[in-house]
Structure formats: structure tokens, C-alpha cells
Amino acid sequence: MTNQLNILKTMKGATAAIMLSSVATGALAQDAIRVISHRQPALEYYTQQMVDALPAGRVTVELMPIDKQLELASITMSAESDAIDVLYLNDSSFRRFASNGWLEPIDDLWEKYRDEYDLDDFPQSVIDAVSYDGKIYAMPILTNTELFFYRKDLLEEAGIEPPQTMEDYMAAAAQLDSARMAGTIMSLKPVDAALNESHWYMNAIGDGWFDENWKPIFNNAAGVEAITKLKEMTEYAPRGFTAHANDESTINLQQGLAAMGLQWFTRAAAMDNTEQSRVVGQIEWVAPPGGGARTANDGFAISAYSSADRDEMFKMLAEAASKESMREGAQYAMPPRLSVLENAELAEQYRWYPAARKALENGKAFPAMPDFNDVGEIVTRHILRAVTGEAEVQEALDQAAAETEELLTSRGYYN
């Protein structure tokens, strides 16, 4: 009997210890504001600004590829967990998160700190881009656009003018393609990278993704032509292009393994980074030929389930998005603040700014629907089936359109 009592006492003690340790761990975890973000040079800079905005140890930042970040955020938010406090969202994912009720509206804080952080410096179009259903949900951090990167030295040597149309681009890539250097980078890793590349072709050659009633039109004749051209262009892409996202394509350009191609504004500075690039000063930029490449307004939002102090988080975001911070961050990404954008010195200091302004004019954002990421999962899977020869282009796009309609029906788009 004494043994039995001892066993019970030991078990109770162990249970209490486990419970106490879990409570203690939870309390410690709640101390710091946890920020998760996509990893790219501009976001590395801005998340560091957030870390610097508050006393040491108050902010922890985790950077990861965008698809992993969105998965982590989706799982955490759907579980209504407070494990994430602040998260990076691009335009398409932002709408989905906002419509799901996973984000905290910040209109009251915006109003409260409007003067302190000169928030009227953000143009209305940018505020609209981070708003959903009339409420502001995110602090705008960067305006991003895809640019057409090309090797000035190689084009001049071959007597080729910087491409203005898709036909120019295709001819130039074909001419410069060789065993040692790909004619063009192509980022076709699902979902985000492949969707960006397809978005450009679908707008420049096709008629876009949807009609005004959200019915898919990407499988019409123009859409089939667009993806057929994209497939043809893969002949000049580096091996492994179906597994390439922005990182791999940036390295291909930096290492002189590709002559040109579509890549984000945020990767432009890396071309002139003497520690990483073999092509310093040799890359130039124009707006993507044919127009229609992706433009985006990205920002950081506060989780609806965060248990951290709202004011503190907002001030952290506002510090990172301050004029001073954005003036410094302009080398990595186009800042959405008017006062910084209108600074004439920027164009002189950063060679890619003139091309970026044109790219913003002829570019196109993703369709404004909360479920475009899910549509993208379907569409990119079928486009890649077509590109790798698993299916004919028309067949693949028809199947993608059928699955897209089925998805959007289930989400109530056609009610």
C-alpha cells in the first residue's frame, strides 16, 4: 500500500511539473513579439528595423520562403493560435487572410498615430491596397514590381536592342542561348514563382485570368497561345527551371549563367553586390516587354489572435515604415511613401528606379480575389503539366479552368 501511495504521489508530482513547465514556457513565449516574413533583401532590412524599433529581445523575427511562411501562418491562424503576432503578407494572400477574419483591423491605431508617423504620406492607392472591406489591415512596407533584367554587355556585343515586346524578348533569348549560358531565367517553381511568370505571359499575350464575373478565361485561344509561348521559351531556360524560384534565378543572373529575364525589383541591388555578383555594372533594366508583369503592394499585418500589445506592435511597424527607414530601404524596394518616392536623388543613386516607374505603369496586380492563391495552386500545377509535356496546353488549361470553377463555386463566387 505504501508503494502504491508512493507511485501515485510520484505521478501527481510529475504531472504538476509538466503542467508548470508548460505554463512557464507559454509565459516566456508571450514575452517577445513574434514576426514571420518571407525572406528577401528588402524584408530582411525592414524586419531588422522592427527589431531595432523596440528594446533588445522584444522582437523575434523568422524569415522563410513565401510558400512556407503562408503555410505556417494559415495553420496558426486557422487554429486561432496567438503563436504569431505580426506577419508579412503580399497583396493576394492579404485578401485571403483578411476575408477569413485572421487579421486585426488597425484603423483606430492608424488614426491615433497619423500625425506622429506622418501616415498621410502614403498615397490613397497604397492604403486601398492594404485595406479590405473598408478597413485597413496592414502597414504598407514596399511597392514591388517585376522588372526585365538583361546583360547590357552581351546585348550590345550581339547588336540587340533592349526588348520592348515579347517577340523581341523571345528572339534575344534564342540568340544568346548557349550550352554555358541560358538565354533567359525562368522561375517556374510552384506556386508563387510559377504564378508570377505565368501572370506576365497571360497578360502580355493572353487576355488575363478572369472575366468580370470571375469566370476563367485563361483557357481561351489567347491564353493557350500565352502558355504555348511560355513553353517554347523554356527551351532557353537553365536546367531545373521548374524548381527555380527568385533565389535560384537571382543566382543564375549574378553568376552569369543567364542573359536576361523577369525578376523582382527587390533583386536589382543584388546584381551590383560585389561580394555575390560576377556581373556588377553589367545588368540593366527595362519595364517587362509587353507589359502586364506583376505589381504588388506588400505590408505587415497584426494577427487577430495576437495577445501582444497592439499599440506596441503598431509603433514597431510604423517605425520600420518611417520616412528615415524607407529612405534607407529604397535600395532594396520601392518605398510606398510619397516623400521618398518623389526624391530625385533616388533615380541617380539606384540605376533601376526609372525602369521600375515604367514597370509600375504597365504592370498588373493579381486579380483582386481572396482565393487567388488557391486558384494559383491549381493553375500552376496544370501549366507545369503542359510545360513538361505531361499534357497538351489546351487540355491542361481546360482542366485548370474546370477545377478553378469548381473551387470558386464552392467558395460562393457564383451565388
Partner 1 sequence: MASWQRGLWLFFLPSFGLLAVVLLWPLGYAIFLSFFDYYLGSGERTFVGFANYIDLLTEARLWNSMWTTIIIAFGSVAVEFVVGFALALALYRLHSSAKIFSVLLFLPHIVTPVVAALFLKWMLASNWGFVDATLLTFNIEPPDWLGSPVWAKVSVILADAWVFTPLVMMVLYAALQGLDTTLIEAAQIDGASSWNTLRHVIVPALIPAIIFVISIRLMDVFRFFDLIYVLTGGGPGTATETITIYTYQLGFRMLEVGKASALGVITLIVVAMLLLTINRSLNKAYRGGDR
Applying CB under 8 A, which residues contact partner 1? 1, 3-4, 7-8, 11, 71, 74-75, 78, 96, 99-100, 179, 188-191, 238-243, 248, 251-252, 255, 257, 370, 374, 377, 381-382, 384-391, 407, 410-411
Minimum CB distance to partner 1, residue 283 (Å)? 18
Name every residue whose Cβ is closer than 8 Å to that of residue 234 and which is 6 or more positions away in sequence. 186, 188, 241, 387
Smaller CB distance to partner 1: residue 33 or 391?
391
User: CB-wise, 211 or 390, nearer to partner 1?
Assistant: 390
In the bound state with partner 1, the residue whose beta carbon lies nearer, of 199 and 382, is 382
139: β partners:
300
Q: How far apart are CA 80 and CA 282, in angstroms?
A: 49
Supply the minimum distance, in Å, between the C-beta of residue 3 and partner 1: 5
What counts of helices (H) and strands (E) characterise the chain? 19, 9
Tell me whether residue 38 or residue 96 sits nearer to partner 1 (CB atom): 96
Smallest distance, Å, CB 193 to partner 1?
11
Of 71 and 161, nearer to partner 1 (C-beta) is: 71
Q: What is the amino acid identity at position 228?
A: T
In this structure, what C-alpha cell is assigned to residue 393?
496546353
Alpha helices, H only, 330-412: 338-341, 344-349, 353-362, 372-387, 393-410
CB of 242 to partner 1, least distance (A): 4
Return d(Cα 399, Cα 273) in angstroms, integer. Answer: 43
The smaller minimum CB distance to partner 1, of residues 216 and 370, is found at: 370
Q: Which residues contact 217 (CB under 8 A, 6 or more apart)?
A: 207, 208, 209, 210, 211, 223
Smallest gap, in angstroms, from Cβ of residue 274 to partner 1? 19
Residue 185 to residue 176: CA distance in whole angstroms:
12
In terms of DSSP H, where are the helices of 84-220? 91-99, 107-112, 124-129, 152-158, 166-176, 192-204
**Closer CB to partner 1, 4 or 124, in the complex:** 4
Least Å distance, CB 238 to partner 1, is 5
**Closest distance between partner 1 and the C-beta of residue 202, in Å?**
18
